[in-house]
Structure 1
Amino acid sequence: MSETMRAAFVKAPFQVQLREVPIPEVKPGWILVKVEACGICGTDLHTLRSASDWSPLGHEIVGVATKVGAGVRSVREGDKVALESGSFCHTCAACRDGRVDLCNTGPNYWSNPTLGFAEYILAPEEGAVVFDGLEWEQAVLVEPMGVALDMVYTADIRPGHDVLVVGMGPIGLMAVALVRRVGAGRVYAAHSRRGRRMEAAKAMGADEVFCTQEWPISCFPYRKRRVAGGAPREHVVDRALVTAPPRVIPETLQVLNYGGILSFIGIDWGEGQKITIPADDFHFNKAQLRASFASPALYFPTCLQMLRDGWIASDLVISHVMPLERLEEAFILLRDDSANTLKVVIKP
């Protein structure tokens, strides 16, 4: 094995450097992973717009364990692994109370000098999930799929619920497929621009797909929904999942049925993160607004099995597979043609 590797560093505005850096030395409790694929996440684009200094990037990582440190028992050299972007510690009060989803002290790789857009990465044993039976281009979806699944769980979607998914990025598309699989009554998919993403939403199982430039979210003719003990309500949904920026949340709340739940992961910075909602309407509709924040990264074993079982058609989510030396081109493609560019996967 060579003593050096290629690793990418990024800086605003949309600059990428490939550097030759030392391959990390494995340490006790950690593993050295040869990166076979790393997906570009929407949050990576925020870094490309804001990072004032050169930074490593990439957290949707699958690869092969090439070395294991002392004390590692669950991973062997040669194993295919998917890397959680954060795990849980097992010892904090939240973990001991059975709420591992609230742990924020678990081991992770974020302090590494290089991340997923590199030929190798060091990862803690706790965050390495061994798998088989999947191609790299399938397995690389496990991290964003876990985010989509967390949204579904957070919204408490049950069979028969009518569901609106706003934002047809990769996570929104996978959310459409998941809510269809769990027995949603009618699935609506909304996106801001026509193009490949809207076509993929239909193929993923959405009953109706609409462009919000043509049909505002609050004006789309959703079907009537019954309120327990009351008359049907016009044009509402029981659950909403928002992967778009927060500014769409107030309008989406307007179409929630009585007792409806909105789960969101869409984020923004500065003024874009601020929203205003009418508190009385929210209160008297018994609505709930729930934040889905999949950290630590959970559900990897479940999502890997779902991928093996064909719950997600990876070819509908992944639009481009590109080598590491074309990383800057990949970022610009996502920035400039987001209507037709879906998940871009980098293969070092």
Structure 2
Amino acid sequence: MKSIVCEEPHRLRMKEIPFPTKKVGEALIRIKRIGVCGTDLHAYKGNQPYFTYPRILGHELSGLIIEIDQNDAGLEVGDSVSVIPYLHCGSCIACRNGKTNCCTSLSVIGVHQDGGMCEVLSVPVQNLVKADGITLDQAAIMEPLAIGAHAVRRSAVRGGETVLVIGAGPIGLGVMAFAKQQGARVIAIDVNEERLQFCKAWAQVDATIRAGEQSVSILEEQTSGDLPTVVFDATGNVHSMEAAFQYVAHGGKLIYVGLVENKIRFFDPDFHKKELTLLGSRNATSEDFAYVLKNLQTGVIKSRDYITHHCSFNEVLNQFSHWLLPESKVIKAMIEL
């Protein structure tokens, strides 16, 4: 069967691979949609943490079950499903505490092991979500949206709080939308004015700020000098992540949603005088996927504008590098099989 392999940075190749063998407790999924994520783009550029080459990319996945044994989840052949790509052990301290998203031996499909840029994939049944009442496109974007939902849940943001989200990519947009769901006043910061306009239209943010030297003073004006009590950085950029400390109110929280392969430095006296809480947010859990599914089913989260580009599986090699260019104006690209 066909697959797309990232053999080394800046090199994708269409390759024939063996049809997968279904193991006990797994199901064979005919892949129908593959969302292209920042992780895929970083891997292509050669700067993705926890990544080795060669690797079949693809972890934002939906498809149809073509083979499955009897199971407690009630899933059957023909069901449309979304894939939770985080494979966990179930027995480590994180898993025992319900934090399967940061399992000590976590293996992410498309990152630590070969992913879904192929025709058929074998996936543990426990990592499948029945996509009732939503489209295959929507099922494929459950994963990036779940990351945003998890970050908001981890922050314990309350209604009426002022929230700042730095970075208006797909993950940041999800954070904005779910923070709004919690009744927060949401401000978005990004370097791209068109992305900021998209934040207003899609995520219904309350205000936007173009990133620059005056960002802090503008933010102070918009918060009557208080600054936001919750700040999310979804950039994966070391300079942005270090600068994010200055945006947080005294007694506030800073949540890193984006990941960077670098050291993060901050000035400890400023950190201590504000008594800041610094949190990492990694991946998502099945609870987050269920929450996203509900929001997609009810139409609270609008998927149509979120997915800006489509292409067929056979067009990926020609399109992939184009999606890296700012002029492509990609929010979310979707591959169709």
Fold shared per TM-score above 0.5 = yes
**Cα contact 2:56–2:110 (8 A) shared by 1:** no
Q: Does 1:83 align with 2:75?
A: no
Q: Is the 8 A contact 1:84 1:129 kept in 2?
A: yes
- CA shift, 1:216, in A, is 4.2
Compared CA separation, residues 278 and 251, structure 1 to 2 (3 A): same
Query: Structure 1: which 5+ residue stretches go unaligned?
Result: 226-232
Query: 1:160–1:36: structure 2 CA closer, same or farther, 3 Å change rule?
Result: same
Aligned to 1:20: 16
- DSSP-derived class of the 1:200 partner: helix
Tell me, yes or no, if the aligned pair for 1:61 and 1:116 is still in contact at 8 Å.
Answer: yes
Q: Which residue of 1 aligns with 2:239?
A: 247
> Which residue does 2:193 correspond to in 1?
194
Bigger drift between 96-105 and 114-123 goes to 96-105
Q: Is the 8 A contact 1:40 1:345 kept in 2?
A: yes
Distance 1:282 1:321 in 2: 44
* Aligned partners of 2:33 and 2:140 also within 8 Å: yes
**2:266 maps to 1:277:** yes
* Alignment-mate amino acid for residue 131 of structure 2: F
**Aligned pair in 2 of structure 1 residues 130, 338: CA closer, same or farther (>3 Å)?**
farther
Between Structure 1 and Structure 2, whose CA radius of gyration is higher?
1
Deviates more, 1:316-325 or 1:233-242: 233-242
Q: Do structure 1's residue 206 and structure 2's residue 195 form an aligned pair? A: no
**1:289 partner letter:** L
The answer as to whether partners of 1:14 and 1:328 remain within 8 angstroms in 2 is: no
1: CA distance, partners of 2:298 / 2:89? 30
Return structure 1 stretches of 4+ with deviation > 6 angstroms.
none
Is 283-292 or 248-257 further displaced after alignment? Answer: 248-257
> Where does 1:329-344 land on structure 2 (aligned, <5 Å)?
329-337=318-326, 340-344=329-333
Q: Which amino acid aligns with 1:330?
A: Q
Q: Deviations over 1:229-254 (max 9, x none)?
A: xxxx6151111111111321232211
CA distance in 2, matches of 1:171, 1:43: 11
**Pair 1:19–1:102, CA change in 2 (3 A):** closer
How far apart, in 2, do the equivalents of 1:7 and 1:314 lie?
A: 27
Provide the C-alpha distance between the structure 2 equivalents of 1:47 and 1:207, rounded to a whole number of angstroms: 34
Distance 1:108 1:168, change over 3 A: closer
In structure 1, the residue corresponding to 2:320 is in which secondary structure?
A: helix
* Amino acid across the alignment from 2:6: V
Q: Pairwise CA RMSD of aligned residues?
A: 2.4
Of the three residues 286, 292, 304, the one matched with 1:303 is 292
Partner of 2:305: 316
Q: Could you list the per-position Cα deviations for residues 41-60 of structure 1 after superposition, in whole angstroms to 9, with x for gaps in the alignment?
A: 10111211227843211001
Q: How many residues end up aligned between the 2 structures?
A: 330
The aligned residue for residue 6 of structure 1 is 2
Q: Aligned-pair distance for 1:77?
A: 0.8
Distance 1:54 1:91, change over 3 A: closer
Deviation for aligned residue 1:330 = 3.4
Aligned to 2:216: 218
Given that 1:32 and 1:66 are in contact with CA atoms closer than 8 Å, whether structure 2 keeps it comes out as yes
The separation in 1 between residues aligned to 2:228 and 2:111, in whole angstroms, is: 42
Change (3 A) 1:13 1:105: closer
Cα distance between partner residues in 1 of 2:318 and 2:286:
28
> Residue 256 in 1 paired to residue 248 in 2?
yes
Residue in structure 1 matched with residue 124 of structure 2 by the alignment: 124
State the match for 1:238 in structure 2: 229
Cα 1:162–1:44 change in 2 (3 A) is: same
Alignment of 1:178-193 (within 5 A): 178-184=178-184, 186-193=185-192
1:45 aligns with: 41
Q: Structure 2-normalised TM-score?
A: 0.89
